Structure 1
Amino acid sequence: MCGIAGVLSSEKMDGGKLSAVLQQLIASLKHRGPDDNGTWINASGTVGLAHVRLAILDLSPGGHQPMHTPDGRFHITFNGEIYNFKELRNELERDGVPFASHSDTEVLLRLYEKHGLAMLPRLRGMFALAIWDEKNRRCFLARDPLGIKPLYYTTRGGRLAFASELKALQVSGFAGSQLDAEALVRYFQMGSVQEPHTLLADVHCLEAGHYLIWEQGRCAKSCYWRVTFTSDEMSGGDAVETVKQGLMESIDAHFVSDVPVGIFLSGGIDSTAVLALARASGHHKISTFSIGVDDAGMDESAPAERTAKHFGADHHAMRLNAERGGELFARFLSAMDQPSVDGFNTYAVSAFARQGGMKVVLSGLGGDELFAGYKSFDAVPRLHALNRAAHCIPLAAGIAGWALERNFYSAKLRRVGSMLRLPPTVKNSYRAFRGILSFHTAKLLAARYLNCSYDSLPELPNHHIKVEDIRNAVSKCELTLYMRNQLLRDSDVMSMSQGLELRVPLVDRVFFEKIAKVPASLRLRAGKQMLLDAVPEVPEWIKNQPKRGFVFPFEKWIEQQWGQEFAAATQKLPFTNPTWFTRWAVFMLDHWLERSAGHARAAIV
């Protein structure tokens, strides 16, 4: 796991200035790779690549990046892990390809040399990468199928600049300062920035499952993989066996490492299943990490400790209250790349695990999205049915929606109102459930921040999700809108701020393609029953407790101890009785804007 960056131009750049910019990029990404760093500039001065390294596979200098093929044609900077790199390497060696290291980076490089774009469907892992072809003067950028590793890019000023974090492009002067209106509206609506947008109009996030080709100043982007459910016919027993086999394979793959691998243990079903499967796969002496909080209704430290003891893990627990949380909060704000209503929990447990000597941890993230762990799997189909029925009555949906949108007391009713005023798509029904603000309120706030009129804001697209089963549609929304744009992004930024690699075995392309064949009626049974059937080792005290996860008592902390920090944010809201996460969203955006103003500068190349 690492950080990558690069600058490309169709014309020669000043060598000294380009070298200085690459060093700026390295400095801004150093936390992602404290073990090593490197740069490469081609002879014609049109390409510069940068890399910071967190050594996980092949700890020797042989894993240094940027890396190149022996003939000097291909050069790579790569962030992530390829879990099936040994199998791919063996295949290449049988074809006579020599290797100088034991790293997955060199396997990627030689695989691209041999197969080009066709290598992408063969990769099992998480990745964001750039490969420069010196002969054809072409750069290839790609991101993993499910969006675990981020990759940001801009073509502002006629050059291509890319990096693992948005703030790296800001600090180096490539990003510009103009806000993206659509991104801002969606941020207020959903609590996170939705790809391919960023909050900055000139910078884009390469979407999950996409690659980009840059050649002579022109970019061409293509999709190579997307979330698709196929739902084959199968019995309940076959479905359980399919899921269990897929889980075991994924857990084994995610333990590929030359350093110890730990586990974040929340006390819930997903992380417990990961620990149970790890033990069943023969992995022992596993370190687990959890956080306890000063709220009995949210504290899962006791069941987590009991579970760790049950499976013989070396457990580590951290106690967190408002005072200690406040101390961590300032550092969390510094680590933020783009604002969201999440991330602090991951920051806290990542810092704790890194202090405990870990460089790699597994998380149970993804289980709720794949096995119906959220209330959305029941609520969204009901909302969607209501929405479709209301639209069958002329003017009824629009009139009711207008009235509900202006309800001053209920955020939920305001969101339902926006749903009724928009086309009756599953996505709009989903946003009414998962969102934090109504579309109407989000536009009001965005207009204030953009200093423009409400009516001048652009219309946002309303894409349909085409799946036969509406619960699969909800699963797709959770995977592509919530998990991808909030959970995975924050998990990457916050874990890497500590130099910690976070792996997610339930968010794995091969695993997904296997279980996507299981009918929704079996896979999405209430209470994550399919996951429990596939992992019977999950103890009863975990099965029978209510879902909580790594959640903190933010509402109590804001009201009792952190109120002064959030007072200004509360005053900006165009309604009374705001939720804690609404105030959080405004506060985080304000802090990000203040910090971004300090980054405003022009690139020196």
Structure 2
Amino acid sequence: MTQPAFVGSVRSGAGTDESLVLTLSESLAAAGHVSRHDMSDLTVVLFGDLADRTSLARRLGCAEDSLPYGAALASLLVEAHDLAWLPESSGDFALVAWNRRTGTLVLARNHAGTRPLFYGETPGALHFGSDISPVLASMGQGSASPFLPAVAAYLIGNAAPPGTTLAAGVRSVPAGHLLSWHDGTARLVCHWDPSHLPHSPVRSVDEAAAELRALIKVSVAESLPPGGAVGTHLTGGIDSAIVAADLLMACEATGRATPLAFAWHPDTSRESDAIDVRLINAMGTHLSMSVQWSSADDSALWAALARNPLEQPTTSTLLHEVEVQTSASARGVATLFSGWGGDEFVSYNGRHLRGRTLRARAGHLRRLIAPADPQRNDAGQLRGYASAVVRRHSVPSIMETLPTLRTARATQLCYLGSGHLSERTDSWSSAGSAFGVQYAYPLLDRRLLEWALALPDSMVGAGRHLMREALSDVIPDEVRLNTDKSDASRDTSRAVDAVRARGLELTLNPALAPLVDLSRFTTQLLSDKPVVQPGKFMAAARLLYQPGGTPLGELVRLP
């Protein structure tokens, strides 16, 4: 079973010490990733930490340098202001607050959902934790049963419907929401709703870029944990580049060691002339950072594939990220900085403008007039490798509305509401817990998201121009102005090739085999032609694969 950051349960009835059962990971607590604080009537757990300490000190009426960290700080806020401070909070965190006097438990997730928070109910009790399998165990379930609408979404490449997981009976607190539970009754409330933010005034590109530059610098600096070694992703893109540059400046300003940089690309590609490798090397040289390249062997890949998506959040990116986590842990790095979320908000590329093309309009018209076929997408392609029984439970995803949206804000709110962001952050946090590694996502800071959402649509165009302008004095133009991603060296077929190499000896979880169209999966596995829809093929492989399970050849009939 996964070692979670925390797992617990509460029972109905009068709030007493015996009503709450709570366990924290000793290793993650030692690294400062999770903390607990007890007061007379209050127990608080904070997974992650709170940022914008200046505003918090002002709210509490004390000096900033007197503020504690983690759950001790959250306890002061809850005691003084209950939960009124949550809508204006910043940082990567999930909060648990148990009031013994009232017998009320609150589970709250930050605005972008960058720390996982799951829960499930049994008669008279609520079970909660930072991972799915420990919640299931707390509920007395030895294994997960599939929640078919979420499985259907997973197998076609979408996030689970908001608030759900692939495990029946286990739910996720959505980003920007809190769950209040008292005496057997749960109530889910949105605590951060940016949909009604007023638009900021139209101003020059230079003014907007200067605002953006200042906000990013503050967000990265405030995301720096009080202690421990830190690292950062380098991808060759501008989001990871600015996070790395500002992290280096923050470390230098506080006397910390130079961060290590981590790339998904295998060590064998470090001398490649491919564009992305060249840009990673350019940033590493510019910042005098040592770049840690991934191993070329497949051990981490198979470790990621071995995760059961019903019991452990899992995405395609873990096939690369587990190698980074392994490398970071071996080098004593406990916190990794990521530029994830930048492309959706502060460096948004105007993808809503694509909805105005003739091709996009034709696709929208086709969706309106064509009969619904749950097996096929708009292009007539088969929708992944789901079995017929799973396809019947497929429900529309919010993400499918993206081509019809006409404003930047509508598109960005879709990303927030769909679970798109937290699908990745949940999986990285869950897998990282085994290595004592967690993440900081400074480009998903609440203040940055509100800045991006408030931009007038007339200032949001194609090309990520505001971000590129904001970085004009920070990163090399070779990186800042690059728009060519046509020659990526990272081998996206490596995972497919590794799975295909096992052929009919690929071992599966027989209990999950009925969820996948095994005939189609096997045909693609054994074919000598390129795999159809490789991303969806790998989603099926992640769902099916089980070390020591039943060989595929024993489960299928070949012609």
For the superposition of Structure 1 and Structure 2, which TM-score range results when normalised by the shorter chain? 0.7 to 0.9
TM-score by structure 1 length? 0.74
What is the DSSP-based 3-state SS (H/G/I as helix, E as strand, rest coil) of the residue aligned with 1:211?
strand
Q: What aligned pairs does 1:79-228 form with structure 2 within 5 A after superposition?
A: 79-85=47-53, 88-89=56-57, 91-92=59-60, 94=62, 102-175=68-141, 177-228=144-195
Q: Structure 1 residue 255: deviation in Å? A: 1.9
The equivalences for 1:13-412 within 5 A come to 42-43=16-17, 45-53=18-26, 65-69=35-39, 72-85=40-53, 88-89=56-57, 91-92=59-60, 94=62, 102-175=68-141, 177-228=144-195, 230-235=198-203, 236-279=205-248, 283=253, 285-293=258-266, 294=268, 300-313=276-289, 315-321=290-296, 324=297, 326-334=298-306, 337-371=312-346, 376-377=351-352, 379-382=354-357, 384-390=360-366, 397-398=369-370
Are 2:549 and 1:573 aligned? Answer: no
Shift of 1:330: 3.0
Q: 1:360 is paired with a residue of what secondary structure?
A: strand
Q: Distance in 1 between matches of 2:176 and 2:191?
A: 6
User: Which deviates the most, 83-92 or 195-204?
Assistant: 83-92
Q: d(CA) in 2 for partners of 1:372 and 1:531? A: 5
Deviation at 1:305, TM superposition (A): 2.7
Equivalent pair of 1:231/1:518 in contact (CA under 8 Å): yes
Output the amino acid matched with 1:558: V
Q: Is the 8 A contact 1:250 1:506 kept in 2?
A: yes
The alpha carbon displacement at 1:489 in A equals 2.2
CA distance in 1, matches of 2:193, 2:489: 30
Q: 2:36, 2:71 within 8 Å by CA — same for their partners in 1?
A: no
CA gap of 1:332–1:389, structure 2 versus 1, over 3 A, is closer
Q: Could you tell me whether the CA contact under 8 Å between 1:372 and 1:525 is conserved in 2?
A: no
Match for residue 519 of structure 1 among 456, 459, 466: 456
The CA distance in 2 between the partners of 1:93 and 1:186, in whole Å, is: 47
Distance 1:548 1:352 in 2: 28
Aligned-residue Cα RMSD (Å) equals: 3.8
Are residues 1:505 and 2:442 paired? yes
Q: Quick one: which amino acid aligns to residue 539 of structure 1?
A: P
Instruction: State the alpha-carbon separation in 2 of the partners of residues 239 and 476 from structure 1.
Output: 21
Alpha-carbon distance in structure 1 between the residues aligned to 2:494 and 2:412 = 31
- Quickly say closer, same or farther: Cα 1:332–1:459, change in 2 above 3 A: closer
Is the Cα contact below 8 Å between 1:152 and 1:205 reproduced in 2?
yes
2:509 is aligned to none
Closer/same/farther in 2, CA of residues 462 and 508 from structure 1, 3 Å limit: closer
What's the CA shift string for 1:12-70, capped at 9, x where partnerless?
A: 9xxxxxxxxxxxxxxxxxxxxxxxxxxxx944x322122225568997xxx9953211x
Letter in 1 for 2:541: F
1:415 corresponds to which letter in structure 2?
A: N
Note closer, same or farther for the CA distance 1:391–1:162 as it changes in structure 2 (3 Å cut).
closer
Secondary structure at the counterpart of residue 584 of structure 1: helix
Closer, same or farther in 2 for the Cα pair 1:2/1:158, shift >3 Å? Answer: closer
2:540 is matched with 586
- Out of 490, 499, 504, the residue aligned to residue 562 of structure 1 is 499
Between Structure 1 and Structure 2, the one with more helix by share is: 1
Structure-2 residue corresponding to 1:533: 469
Deviation at 1:209, TM superposition (A): 0.5
Distance 2:34 2:495 in 1: 44
Contact 2:31–2:436, Cα closer than 8 Å, also in 1: no
Contact 1:372-1:475 within 8 A present in 2 as well: no
What's the CA shift string for 1:466-497, capped at 9, x where partnerless? 99843433333344436424322222223333
What residue identity is the alignment partner of 2:410?
Answer: A
Paired AA for residue 197 in structure 1: T
> Compared with structure 1, are the counterparts of its residues 232 and 158 closer, same or farther at alpha carbon in structure 2 (3 Å cutoff)?
same
Quick check: 1:209–1:224 contact (8 Å CA) kept in 2?
Answer: yes
* Residues 119, 127 of structure 2: 8 Å contact kept: yes
**Residues 192, 341 of structure 1: 8 Å contact kept:** no
Q: How far apart, in 2, do the equivalents of 1:466 and 1:307 lie?
A: 34
Which residue number in structure 1 is paired with residue 386 of structure 2?
Answer: 445
Shift of 1:570: 8.1
**8 Å contact kept, 1:467–1:473:** no
Contact 1:243 1:534 in 2 (8 A): yes
Residue deviations 1:287-339, cap 9 Å, x none? 222243356587734432331221233x1322432xx1x21123224556134
Cα separation, 2, equivalents of 1:485 and 1:446: 26
Secondary structure in 1 aligned to 2:102? Answer: coil
Structure 1: gaps spanning 5 or more residues: 13-40, 407-413, 419-436, 596-605
Q: In 2, Cα distance between the equivalents of 1:238 and 1:380?
A: 28
Matched, 1:9 2:11: yes
Distance 1:494 1:287 in 2: 20
SS of 1:76's partner is strand
Match of 1:415 in 2: 377
SS at match of 1:473: helix
- Unpaired segments ≥5 residues, structure 2: 507-515, 525-530, 550-559
